[in-house]
Chain A
Amino acid sequence: MNTTVVAQLQRQFQDYIVSLYQQGFLDSQFSELRKLQDEGSPDFVSEVVSLFFDDCSKLINTMSRSLEQPDNVDFKQLDSGVHQLKGSSSSVGARRVKNVCISFKECCDVQNREGCLRCLQQVDYEYKMLKTKLQDLFNLEQQILQAGGTIPQVDIN
C-alpha cells in the first residue's frame, strides 16, 4: 500500500464530501446513511441513492405527463408525485432536490402550471447534478479501497 497515495485520496475524498454539504447538495441525513454502511453491506449508500435516482426518473416522467395538457392538469396527482419525491429526497439527504420539492408543492397548491413546469425542470436538473456528484464521490471511495486504504469518517457538524 502506498501510504502517500492513500493519504492524498483520503484528503481528496474529505474535501469533496465537505464541499457537497457546504454547497447544499447534501444534508445530515446523508451522514446517517453513511453510518449505516458496514462490512456486511459495503455498498449500502450507493444502493439506496440508486433507488432514489430511479424514483426521481419515474416520478419526473409521470409529473411531466400530468403537466402536458395546459387545460387538463391533474394537480392532485402532481401533488402526490411531489410528495413522494420530497419524501425520498429527504430520506437520502438530497437537500437541494428536497428544497425544490417544497417550492413545487407550493405551486401545486395554487394550481400554478407555469410554476410547476419551472420546478419540474429544476428538480430534473438538481437530481442529475447530484447523481454526477455522488458518482464522483463513490469513485473516490473505490480508488481509496483499491489503494488499500479505508474510507474516512467525516464529521460535518
Chain B
Amino acid sequence: MTRDQVGEELPNLAESKLTALVVDDSFVNQTIHQKLLNRLGIKNDVVTNGKEAVDVYCSGGNYDLILMDMDMPIMNGIQATKRLREMGIESKIAGVTTRANEGEKKEFMEAGLNDFQEKPLTISKLLSILHKLNFYVQT
C-alpha cells in the first residue's frame, strides 16, 4: 500500500502488472487520468482519440483496461468501443464521460463497455472501476 498526502492508504497494483490505455482528447483529462493510474502503480499510455486507440490495437498493442472518453474528434468513444469489440478485443473498457443522461449512457454501454463512470475521475471512482472489473479486491 502507499500513502497519499492525506494519509489514506492506497493499493499499489504494480505487482499485478496491470496496464491501461487512456483515450481522451483533453490534455487536462489525460494528465489527471495518467496520474491516477500512476498512483495505483498501473503502467499506462495515452492516445487522443478513438481511431488512435484502434490503431494501437491493430499494431499489436494490448492493455488490460481502457479508459474511454465519449466525445472525441475523428472517432468518438462509442465508435471506437464498437470497433474494438468487432475486432474481437476483450480488454476491459470503462467509459468515462461528462455526458450522463440515461440515453447517452445506454448507447455507450451498448457499444461494448464493461463499466461506466461519470467524470471527473477520482481515486475512489477509479478504484470502483478496478473493483467492478475484478482487477482489485478490497481487503
User: From residue B74, how far is it (CB to closest CB) to chain A in Å?
Assistant: 14
CA distance A54 to B29 in the complex (A): 13
Residues of chain A lying within 8 A (CB to CB) of residue B8: 35
Find chain A residues with CB under 8 A from B6 CB: 35, 153, 155
Q: CB-defined interface of B19-38 with A at 8 Å, one 1/0 digit per residue?
A: 00000001111011001100
Instruction: Find chain A residues with CB under 8 A from B52 CB.
Output: none
Give which listed residue, A38, A47, A48, A55, contacts B4 with CB less than 8 A.
A38
Whole-angstrom distance between the Cβ of B88 and the nearest chain A Cβ: 31
| Binary contact track B83-98/A, C-beta < 8 Å → 1, others 0 | 0000000000000001
B4–A91 touching, CB < 8 Å: no
A83-B39 in contact (CB<8A) = no
What's the Cα separation between A65 and B5 when bound, in Å?
43
Chain B binder among A16-24, A26-34, A111-119, A134-142 = A26-34
A88 beta carbon closer than 8 Å to chain B: yes
Q: Name the interface size band of chain B.
A: 10 to 19
Interface residues of A in 82-111 (CB under 8 A from B): 83-84, 86-88, 90-93
Chain B contacts for A127, CB-based, 8 A? none
Bound-complex Cα distance A80 to B26 (A): 13
Q: Is A91 a contact of B29 with CB atoms below 8 Å?
A: yes
Closest chain B CB from A1 CB (angstroms): 21
Chain B residue with minimal CB distance to A27?
B120
Pair B119/A36 contact, Cβ less than 8 Å:
no
- Cα A52 to Cα B39 in complex, Å, equals 21
A51 touches B31 (CB 8 A): yes
Which residues of B (40-75) have their CB < 8 Å from a CB of A? 71
Picked from A35, A44, A87, the residue with its CB within 8 Å of the CB of B119 is A87
Q: A34-B5, A90-B98 are in contact. List 8 more A-B contacts (CB 8 A).
A: A35-B5, A36-B123, A41-B35, A48-B28, A55-B28, A87-B119, A91-B26, A91-B32
9 A-B Cβ contacts within 8 A?
A29-B120, A29-B122, A35-B5, A51-B28, A86-B98, A88-B28, A90-B98, A90-B120, A91-B119
Q: Which A residues lie at the B interface, using CB under 8 A?
A: 29, 32-38, 41, 44, 47-48, 51-52, 54-55, 80, 83-84, 86-88, 90-93, 153, 155
Nearest 5 A/B pairs, CB to CB: A88-B28, A91-B120, A32-B122, A51-B27, A87-B98
